[in-house]
Structure 1
Amino acid sequence: MAQSNTNDMVIGRHPAMAALKSGQTINKVFVQAESNSDAIAEIVTRAKQKGIIVSQVPKTKLDQLSNNQNHQGVVLTVSPFEYATVDDLFARAAKRNEDPLFLILDGIEDPHNLGSILRTADAAGIHGIIIPKRRAVQLTSTVAKTSTGAIEYVPVARVTNLVQTVKQLKERGVWVFGTDMKGQDFRKWSAKGPTAMVIGNEGKGISPLLKKECDEMLTIPMVGHVQSLNASVAASLLMYQAFSSRGE
């Protein structure tokens, strides 16, 4: 596993509890002083069981640590979020005795989109997500909070070149599906067998070079006036169609 370069925070009750239950290295737990919340008490108990320092601080300190996000009375300082390798994603699928099912994100920039995608990926049994190292959002505290803890359970691999990675996936027997205005109706699509789905940038879509590497294109039919969907919504629709088509 590779690590990101900067320390980060886990903000909010659900993400904090997920981090405490996972194997992530937690440096310190900050909770709001004189809090009567049962959820905060449970977090404090679990942290102390693991030998983690717990500090009771005023709300203003938590506001400062979280950059005024909705911290719900708890902030964890953690070691950098760990990134997986593509091999780790294959190994996760093999451990479950399932055909690989991956999501490739081509330049997603909004951390809320990535967090939401992680949350759905966890629910839909995705074995891992692949993102580029440059010109895209990375794993941050905002992503972690939006994912409501899913960041601890869905491995994310960072790669230097998505086009080369897709070529390597295809060499390993993975069928790669992109999204486009013209393509197969996603409702008739089956994700049985080793499969990867590509979701493009919020504004530009999938880059032309990456689109050329896709084996097939899928389209999401729309009949309304706004002929586009939020990237996380489009990703969610595809992930659940993949999940449904596998009959799990």
Structure 2
Amino acid sequence: MAGNSRRRGAVRKTGTKKGQVVGSGGQRRKSLQGKGPTPPAEMRPGHPKQRRAAAAAKAEKSRTRKPEGGPEVIAGRNPVVEALRAEVPATAMYVALNVDADDRVTEAVRMAADRGISILEVPREELDRRTGGALHQGLGLQVPQFEYAHPDDLLTTARNSGDAPLLVALDGVTDPRNLGAVIRSAAAFGAHGVLLPSRRSAGMTAVAWRTSAGAAARLPVAMATNLTRQLRSYAEEGLMVVGLDADGSVDIDSMDLAVEPLVVVVGSEGRGLSRLVRETCDVTVSIPMAAGVESLNASVAASVLLAEVARLRRITGRT
């Protein structure tokens, strides 16, 4: 009202009028928009149900996780029988209580008893825990943690054998079945050892043990902290570093693979040799194949090359 404008305190003092202010740019309007349906209680951080679900998941993970650095357990009736036939080192065999015993279980128990391996009957839940939740069919075979040799020991073993040194190095082979198959082929064709990188590589797990068919117990397997550096060290010791690659500069028919000291480097099936490893190789070789076939499995390719090396060495008498 008119009279109120003259009240004391009702008139704005000079110099106190606000000027222009910066607007929100529509941000307040956006903040008022809906954020979708309310998530379930199990997905809302801080909700009691969410905390209970997280605790249950953590407990389940802890229950099924195998201790790192400890023994491995081969799971399944056929794998256990195959491992025992191959005389894979084992410390114990677990048999589930009230298991339906068939010919494979009977054979596994008999072979384990003949080799003096402890046979333990355990509840199925205990076998689930020891195998990490794998399909064990009531049977598990515990193998000790693998002991890797030193990379320099491979060359020492090769020179002490009296034969021309032949080593196999793997670059980026992450499938333990491929690793086991390469070890088996390396032993079959006269190699003196297998070298693995410590990173981005399969290790000697129970699966690799089984696939090697016992060859891992007879052939030394070493692990290098830096594969490229170790290959250079072998080269300084007089070994020729030959990389097996689909895009190799020469094929195996065009090269004298019977050269005495040799280290064969096998890359992964998809990626092949890494750049640094390829640059370290003295030469890269490929395997001639029919048109339409892009590549071979890493273990198969290694077998082909090692078989050719063994054949040429027999012919030339360089063994």
Matches within 5 A, 1:34-53: 34-36=101-103, 39-48=107-116, 52-53=117-118
For residues 95 and 187 of structure 2, the distance between their equivalents in structure 1, rounded to whole angstroms, comes to 27
Partner of 1:222: 289
What stretches of structure 1 move > 3 A for 4+ residues in a row?
A: 17-20, 31-39, 56-69, 71-74
Quickly say closer, same or farther: Cα 1:220–1:28, change in 2 above 3 A.
Answer: same
User: Is the alpha carbon distance of 1:123 and 1:167 closer, same or farther for their aligned partners in structure 2, counting shifts above 3 Å?
Assistant: same
Residue identity matched to 2:184:
R
- Look at both structures and tell me which one has the larger radius of gyration over its CA atoms: 2
Instruction: Give the conservation status (yes or no) of the 8 Å contact 2:112–2:118.
Output: no
The question of whether the paired residues in 2 share the 8 Å contact of 1:40 and 1:73 is answered with no
Query: Aligned partner of 1:150: which letter?
Result: A
For 2:172, the equivalent position in structure 1 comes to 107
Structure 1 alignment gaps of length 5 or more: none
Deviations 1:150-192 (CA, angstroms, capped at 9, x unpaired)? 2222221111111100110011111110123132221343233
User: Which deviates more from structure 2 when the two are superposed, residues 37-46 or residues 84-93?
Assistant: 37-46
Tell me if 1:147 matches 2:212: yes
Secondary structure at the residue paired with 2:231?
A: helix
Match of 1:187 among 239, 246, 253: 253
Would the alpha carbon gap of residues 79 and 216 (structure 1) be closer, same or farther in structure 2, given more than 3 Å must change? same
C-alpha deviation, 1:92, in angstroms:
2.5
Q: Find 1:14's aligned residue among 82, 94, 100.
A: 82
**Are 1:13 and 1:74, in contact at CA under 8 Å, matched by a contact in 2?**
no
Letter paired with 1:183: S
Q: Deviations over 1:42-98 (max 9, x none)?
A: 4223332xxx422245788666644435x6875322321111112221232234211
Q: Residue 83 of structure 1 aligns to a residue in which SS?
A: coil
Work out whether 1:118 is the aligned partner of 2:186: no
Name the amino acid aligned to 1:16: L
* Matched residue count: 237
Give runs of aligned pairs for residues 233-248 of structure 1, distance below 5 A: 233-247=300-314
Which segment drifts farther, 6-15 or 161-170? Answer: 6-15
C-alpha separation between the residues in 2 aligned to 1:19 and 1:30?
A: 17
The Cα offsets for residues 89-110 of structure 1, whole Å up to 9 and x where unpaired, read as 1232234211211111011111
**Partners of 2:287 and 2:195 in 1: CA distance:** 22
Distance in 1, Cα, partners of 2:108 & 2:252: 43
Matches of 1:60 and 1:224 in 2, distance apart?
52
Q: Which amino acid aligns with 1:169?
A: Y
Name which of 230, 235, 242 aligns with 1:165: 230
Counterparts of 1:17 and 1:91 in 2: how far apart (Å)? Answer: 30
Give the corresponding residue for 1:94: 159
**Cα separation, 2, equivalents of 1:31 and 1:195:** 45
What residue ranges of structure 2 are gaps of 5+ in the alignment? 1-67
Tell me whether 1:231 sits opposite 2:298 in the alignment.
Answer: yes
Q: Secondary structure at the match of 1:138?
A: coil
Note if contact 1:104-1:130 (Cα within 8 Å) is conserved in structure 2.
yes
Contact kept, 8 Å, 2:109 with 2:119, in 1: the verdict is no
AA matched with 1:221: P
Say yes or no: does 1:197 pair with 2:264. yes
Q: Which amino acid aligns with 2:150?
A: T
Q: For the residues of structure 2 that align with 1:91 and 1:111, how far apart are their CA atoms?
A: 26
Query: Using the alignment, how far apart are the partners of 2:124 and 2:311 within structure 1?
Result: 44
Counterpart amino acid of residue 278 in structure 2: K
Structure 1 match to 2:273: 206
TM-score of the aligned structures, taking structure 1 as reference length: 0.83
Pick 1 or 2: higher relative contact order, CA cutoff 8 A, min separation 6. Answer: 1
TM-score, normalised by the number of residues in structure 2: 0.66
Task: Say whether residues 1:136 and 2:136 are aligned partners.
Answer: no
Shift of 1:40: 2.2
CA distance 1:224–1:5, shift in 2 (3 Å): same
Return the alpha-carbon distance in structure 1 between the equivalents of residues 82 and 187 of structure 2.
15
